Amino acid sequence: MRKITADLLLPITADPIKNAVVITDDQGKILAIDQRENHDPTSLETHRGVIVPGFVNAHCHLELSHMKGVAPTGTGLLPFLKTVVNHRHVPQEQIDAAIKQADQEMWEAGIQAVGDICNKADTAPTKRRSPIRYYSFVEMFDFLSDERAQQTFEGYYEVFAQQSDENGDRKSCVPHAPYTVSKKLFSLINAANQSPVSNHQSPVTVSIHNQETVHEDQFFRDRTGDFNEFYLSFGIPLDNFQPSGKPSIYYALENMDPQHRTLFVHNTETQPQEIRFVQAWAAANCQLPTANCFWCSCPNANLYIENRLPNYRHFIDNQAIVCLGTDSLTSNWQLSILEEMKTIARYQSYVPFETLLRWATLNGAMALGFEEDLGSIEVGKTPGLLLLDLDERLQLNFSTKVKRLV
């Protein structure tokens, strides 16, 4: 048994508590929350700062960790994607070592759970040994070709079979983005996620990259923008693509299953009317006991790739459930949710710290379906305990550090 106390406790689901004592068992399960005066001071682990639950990284590409520093910053999404495609293949031992190191660094940075995009099975061995809980999103794309859909699905389903769903981990089949997934592949993904054979834990979470660049919406509205050249550069025909006159997210909604949790990622160009439309789509079709629509922001990756951020007022004003991710080391300087919080606090400082903390913890846990154990400091949960070196003003700055306590 451990008794841990600090100047302030932020449980997330309850008001802040000064001088609280969190009592855990040896596995980190919270047994009680009490006050210092009820305990012998010599029995306490006493810290200066603020105790918060472990962070949730709702969007990561762990398998790309070996590509740190390869892609230049500020190129825009499409040149960045070309870099990723052209530089993925390096010796396997280099890939494996980078994955293992990145996993360890995330744990040390206070990350308790990760929603991880997988195109290969490279990350599976590390995940099985990691103290981090993983939700593996096996991502599929056929470049809008119905003819490629079945073969594409079968290839990626082999990757799905190799990802773990044991020891609290989960997995699902997911589409990459509206501009890379045909209607037929969407259908195959939906069917796989409904199968009791492939998903004994239901409902699943389905992740999709969304409106990360202006070119994405231009492509779907009237087939203008740089996606035409992007496809041409890879020799991929677009003979059957017909623009819809609407932003890309509408195509995604037409082809996704609203019965699952949906995690929209990046959302740099997403507008208020689109947020409201998605919220209505989710509410009208939801049969879940909790929310099923989530918006993941990866601010440092947005700055790294396109030097832009979403307008977080759009999401706050529409009561959207926002969570935070890091994207990959190809598009970020580190895999740290605390650094993502700092970036938002610096560039859009109207977002309160308590709001950022909820985005970094409970909202991410809900998006991944881990909220029964993670995301808040409550009796019966095993959320991990972190110490932030903050005072009662709760103001993040460049020097703010995180220390893992449990």
Quote the tokens at residue 253.
Answer: 């909604």
- Cα-only R_g, the chain: 21
Say what the pLDDT of residue 288 is.
Answer: 62
Closest CA to 55 of 302, 363, 314, 399: 363
Which residue ranges make up each domain of the chain? 1-53+376-406, 55-374
3-state secondary structure of 358: helix
- For residue 392, the model assigns a pLDDT of 85
What number of other Cβ atoms are within 10 A of residue 72's Cβ? 11
Residue 186 pLDDT greater than 60, yes or no: yes
Mean pLDDT, to the nearest integer, of 141-152?
A: 96
Contact (CB, 8 A) for 326 and 59:
yes
Please state which architecture CATH assigns to domain 1-53+376-406: Roll (2.30)
pLDDT mean over 11-39: 97
Q: What's the CA gap between 55 and 375, in Å, rounded?
A: 7
Quote the crossing angle between the two packed helices 299-306 and 77-86, to the nearest 10°.
Answer: 90
Judge whether residue 388 has pLDDT over 60: yes
Q: What is the mean pLDDT of residues 120-134?
A: 97
DSSP classification of residue 72: P
| Residue 108 in this model has a pLDDT that exceeds 70 | yes
Over 80: is that where the pLDDT of 222 sits?
yes
Q: Which residues of 229-261 are buried (b: 16+ CB within 10 A; e: fewer)?
A: ebbeeeeeeeeebeeeeebbbbbbbebbbbbbb
How many angstroms separate the CA atoms of 242 and 219, rounded? 9
CA distance 117 to 119: 7
Report angle CA 122, 107, 18 to the nearest 5 degrees. 155
Q: What is the largest CA-CA distance in the chain?
A: 75
Question: Which of 27, 26, 6, 8 has its CA nearest to residue 17?
Answer: 8
Per-residue model confidence (pLDDT) at position 164: 87
Given this model, what pLDDT does residue 202 score? Answer: 66
Phi, psi of 35 (to 5 degrees): -110, 150
Spell out a b/e string for 379-398, using b for 16 or more CB atoms within 10 Å of the CB, else e.
Answer: eebbbbbbbbebeeebebee
Position 368 pLDDT exceeds 60 = yes
Rounded (5°) CA angle 162-98-364 = 65
Burial group, residue 69, by CB count within 10 angstroms (0-12, 13-18, 19+)? exposed
Q: Do domains 1-53+376-406 and 55-374 have the same CATH topology?
A: no
DSSP 63: G
Residues paired with residue 379 on neighbouring β-strands, in sequence order: none
Residue 94, pLDDT above cutoff 80: yes
Q: What is the DSSP letter of 338?
A: H
pLDDT at 290: 64
Task: State pLDDT tens for residues 40-66.
Answer: 999 999 999 999 999 999 999 999 999
- Residue 289, pLDDT above cutoff 60: no
What is d(CA 254, CA 241) in angstroms, rounded to the nearest whole number? 15
Average pLDDT rounded to a whole number, residues 241-256: 96
Beta strands in 235-342 (DSSP E): 261-266, 293-297, 322-324
Give 184's DSSP letter.
H
Where residue 169 falls (left for φ over 0; alpha for ψ -120 to 50; beta otherwise) is beta
Buried-exposed string 54-64: b where 16+ CB fall within 10 A, e elsewhere: bbbbbbbbbbb
Residue 13, class by beta-carbon neighbours within 10 Å (0-12 exposed, 13-18 middle, 19+ buried)? Answer: middle
Token duo for residue 7: 């100047």
Assess contact for 213 and 306: CB atoms under 8 A.
yes
Q: Which CATH number fits domain 55-374: 3.30.56.10, 3.40.640.10, 3.20.20.140, 3.90.650.10?
A: 3.20.20.140
